[in-house]
Structure 1
Amino acid sequence: MKTAMLAGVLAGLLAPAWAMAQSPIDGTWKIDMNRVHLPTKSDVFVLKDGIFDCRSCAPPFKIKADGADHPVSGHPYFDAVAMTVVDDHTVKETDKKNGKVVATTTTTVAPDGRTATFQFSDSSDTQGAPVTGKGTLTRTAKGPAGSHALSGSWRAASYQNLSDNALRMTFKEEGGSLTMHSPTGQSYTARLDGTEAPFHGDPGVTSVSVTKAGPHSFVETDKRDGKTVSIDRMTIHPDGRTMDVAVDNMLRASHMSFVAVKQ
């Protein structure tokens, strides 16, 4: 009788601790830019005879490179693009949505044509300050004869000085659901059984579903109007301080991965 009573008391004491046990994904995570593996798939551009052709864009578009705004369709983050040829090695792209500038990118090709640098500011999917940064590209194929130095195939080689708001994300697992929010305004709360839920704050994602693949693993599937646009696989290391994230971009058929560190 005393043993049963003691067991009951212990169960009562331990139950609250178990119920409040923190999930390994709970907390704020920051991408470690030293442990990012960028997509190996190349971007393809052709700038020739006053026409800019973004062949790798999803969907592709072709506009006059005259510095004026030109409408494009099928892109959730912008509806008009202006391409300005600064000189033989430099171009500036300005993206707008509903008449408002949402992104600018200036790209300069090195004199030898093998590499390029770019600097950008992007507020197309942020509810606050724009995401800013710069980076480098490596040429993987030449453009057609007589075209601008930008023409050809390029692979992203690195990013530098990426603003902090693009690197952080916060998760909370509770009551069979996972909640995510980021400094740029994206958020969701989704059941961990794969049920679709609304995705807020991103024009390119309308719904999300999350499944728990194991005690330390989660799979997030993002969709836009019913079509899968990306699949993210998140696995927390046994130390609880680092998380591997693998991202498959279904629209561009590309893959990247990174390590995030709990703050």
Structure 2
Amino acid sequence: MNKMMTAMAAMTLAMGLAACAEENAETTATASESGSLAGTWKADVASAQAENDVDSYVFADGTYTCNSCKPAFSITANGEWQEVDRPGVDALKVAMVDDMTISSASRRGDKQLGESTWTVSEDGQTMTIAWTNMDGEETTEGTTVLQRTAAGPDGSHAASGDWELKEIGPMSDAALTFSYEIDGDTIISKGNSGGYTAVLGGDAVTPEDDETGGVVKVEKTGENTYRETYMRDGEVINVLDLTVEGDTLKGVSTDPRDDSVFRWTATRQS
């Protein structure tokens, strides 16, 4: 839509400013009716729903273990940087601040990528993660609330156990806003943490500024539906199906490795 609107603006300027508002309105309506993905979108945090998505952690004996990570791993949780071999991350720092609180941070090289504080409720049934993401054009912040589905091992920290998404709290607008441009078979995705330029139905491409070794393949699967398939080392790690319904975009993200599903909607901003 951005390229289409730029061309339309040039045409209407030559014809006179009186035509500009009318032509722009008609262009937007046509794009919405035809199910165009092109435009700027803002995700609705209240729409987020997770299925079969369980986070499993153990904090005990000075060690942090992430059982739900792919692959699972363990590091010393003493508040000092620990080298790790994870996609896009080469060091983590985890500390058990007190009986109900965990702090963590990540970095790649000399660049700190993010930090978070995990706080377990008094009854031990929910955990709020306040996070800061520094790996983008803008630093963004937000909160995520998890609810317990299983207790951790006896004697472990309160943050141990199995958790699932309860709700996503407020977060920075920059973390929620993204855009697509479509010019013929070329599709361009942009967001605060990067994007990609690909050919619909073409070969997989490496997203901009990607440090994880991943690639994405994009295809148009219907009149108003699209699919992004993310892969690493030849393995599909996520499939995002997008459906445009006027000014609403519905996303369904599936991880075929564990059949977890994440659903959300976004509203067209332009």
Calculate the TM-score normalised by the size of structure 1. 0.84
Structure 2 residue matching 1:66: 3-state secondary structure: coil
Q: Using the TM superposition, give the Cα deviation of residue 205 of structure 1 relative to its aligned residue in structure 2, in angstroms.
A: 5.7
**Cα pair 1:38 1:158 within 8 Å, conserved:** no
Mark the CA change 1:172 to 1:205 in structure 2 (over 3 Å): closer, same or farther: farther
| CA apart distance, 1:45 | 0.7
Counterpart in the other structure of 2:192? 183
Shift of 1:40: 3.9
**Structure 2: runs of 5 or more not aligned:** 1-25
Task: State the identity %.
Answer: 31
Q: For residues 18-76 of structure 1, what are the alpha-carbon distances to aligned partners after superposition, in whole Å with 9 as ceiling and x for unaligned? A: 9xx75611110111112121344211111111111111112221111111111111x12
Number of matched residues? 239
C-alpha spacing 1:198/1:64, structure 2 compared with 1 (3 Å): closer
Root-mean-square deviation over aligned CA pairs: 2.1
Q: Does 1:103 align with 2:109?
A: no
State the secondary structure of the residue aligned to 2:171.
coil
Aligned to 1:76: 87
Aligned counterpart for 2:64 among listed residues 52, 55, 66 = 52
Q: Equivalents in 2 of 1:183, 1:48: separation in Å?
A: 36
Change (3 A) 1:130 1:256: same
State the distance in 2 between where 1:87 and 1:110 align.
13
Asked if 2 retains the 8 angstrom alpha-carbon contact of 1:205 and 1:222, the reply is no
C-alpha separation in 1, matches of 2:97 and 2:147: 21
Cross-structure match for 1:247: 253
The secondary structure found in structure 2 opposite 1:165 is helix
Match of 2:146 in 1: 137
- Which deviates further from its counterpart, 31-40 or 196-205? 196-205
Amino acid at match of 1:87: D
**Aligned match for 1:197, one of 205, 220, 242:** 205
Distance in 1 (CA, whole Å) between partners of 2:257 and 2:174 is 24
Does residue 1:226 correspond to 2:234, yes or no?
yes
Between the aligned partners of 2:160 and 2:112, the Cα distance in structure 1 is: 25
Which of 1 and 2 has greater Rg?
A: 1
Partner of 1:7: none
Bigger shift: 218-227 or 160-169?
Answer: 218-227
Equivalents in 2 of 1:251, 1:72: separation in Å?
Answer: 22
3-state DSSP of counterpart to 1:198: coil
Which residue of the other structure, out of 201, 218, 235, is the alignment partner of 1:210?
Answer: 218
| TM-superposition CA deviations, 1:199-256 (whole Å, max 9, x none) | 213323642211111111111112234332211111111xx21111111134554210
Partners in 1 of 2:161 and 2:189 — Cα distance? Answer: 38
Counterpart secondary structure, 2:174: helix
The answer to whether residue 125 in structure 2 is matched with residue 114 in structure 1 is: yes
Q: Secondary structure at the match of 2:98?
A: coil
TM-score with structure 2 setting the length: 0.82
- Cα contact 1:40–1:156 (8 A) shared by 2: no
Distance change >3 Å, CA 205–CA 248, structure 1 → 2: farther
> Whose helix proportion is higher, 1 or 2?
2
Segments of structure 1 that go 5 or more residues without pairing to the other structure are 1-16
Structure 1 counterpart SS, 2:132: strand
1:154 aligned to 2:138?
Answer: no
